[in-house]
Amino acid sequence: MDIAVLGGTGNLGYGLAARMAAAGHRVFIGSRDAQRAQAAAAALNELTSTQNLIGRTNARAIEQAEIVIVAVPAAAQAETLKAVAAAVGQRVVVDATVSLNPKDVTSTLPPEEGSCALRARALLPEGSRVVAAFHTLSGKLLADLSKEVSADALVCGDHADAKGTVSVLCESMGMKAIDVGPLSRSSTLEQLTAMIIGLNKRYRRAHVGVHFTGL
Ligand SMILES: NC(=O)c1ccc[n+]([C@@H]2O[C@H](COP(=O)([O-])OP(=O)(O)OC[C@H]3O[C@@H](n4cnc5c(N)ncnc54)[C@H](OP(=O)(O)O)[C@@H]3O)[C@@H](O)[C@H]2O)c1
């Protein structure tokens, strides 16, 4: 698959890009700054021993992508999406943004739409295929290719085909993909991120993840 990661220079985006490129996907690292994107892509090509990564500005990163992952701080989500909204078309947009409470990152401060993914849908043209995923994964763990990611990948959205595409992507990266419901479920995923940050602090861990049993 051809995938753009907006904010691919950051913790989560970098880790996702590493796993995706290692799985054989072509990844366009997006940044506000083309040189920063190129530097991240070069480092990731070395890390993954591939030439699967290309660095571009966010707007240019989506040009050849079929999937667009949004991995920027919540405060930067609207600005980032507005810069690409007109060009998104039928691409699948995967929002991983979490509206953490800046005063207490073990809780969230949801936007008025209810979650960042719901806000993403509101910011994009009507009919855009928005999926929420990757909220409960650790960027640092994803970037450490010597380690297996045993956590489940929780995916939600209102477009079954788009959710299916993202699930196939997650499985190609070595994770079990779980369809956790409609896009409105993204508020739960964001709260899980905050809960995981709290668990990492309480149990002095770095990479707590979610794994469902009984499925
Ligand atoms: N880190 C994780 O493990 C993790 C896990 C689950 C969910 N999340 C969520 O995923 C999103 C990204 O997290 P992260 O930890 O990867 O964030 P981060 O490293 O702080 O930022 C990611 C990238 O966003 C870009 N960005 C765009 N506009 C920005 C602005 N106004 N201010 C600062 N940076 C801006 C920056 O790229 P350029 O400067 O190159 O444009 C930056 O490298 C967040 O919403 C977070 O809550 C993160």
Number of the ligand 1 atom closest to the C-alpha atom of 58: 41
Please indicate, yes or no, if residue 208 is contained in any of the structural domains. no
Show the low-confidence residues of the chain (pLDDT under 50).
none
Is the whole model's pTM more than 0.95, yes or no? yes
Q: Is residue 45 part of a domain?
A: yes
Residue pair 18/44 in contact (Cβ under 8 Å)? The answer is yes
Pocket test for ligand 1, best of 6, 9, 11, 138 (most atoms within 8 A of CB): 11
pLDDT of residue 123: 97
Which tens digits make up the pLDDT trace of 117-159? 999 999 999 999 999 999 999 999 999 999 999 999 999 999 9
> Nearest 5 degrees, angle CA 75-CA 176-CA 166?
50
Number of folded domains in the chain?
Answer: 1
Specify if 69 maps to a domain: yes
* Average pLDDT value for the chain: 97
- Token look-up 């993840």 returns 209
Which one, of 65, 117, 104, 115, lies nearest residue 88 by Cα?
65
Q: Which residues line ligand 1 (CB under 6 A)?
A: 7, 9-13, 31-33, 36, 71-74, 76, 80, 96-98, 100, 135, 137-139, 193
Cα dist. 213→152, 176, 182, 194 in Å?
A: 10, 12, 21, 21
CATH of the domain at 84: 3.40.50.720
Structural domain range at position 157: 2-202
Q: What pLDDT score does 118 carry?
A: 98
Q: Judge contact between 20 and 3, C-beta under 8 A.
A: yes
pLDDT of residue 102: 95
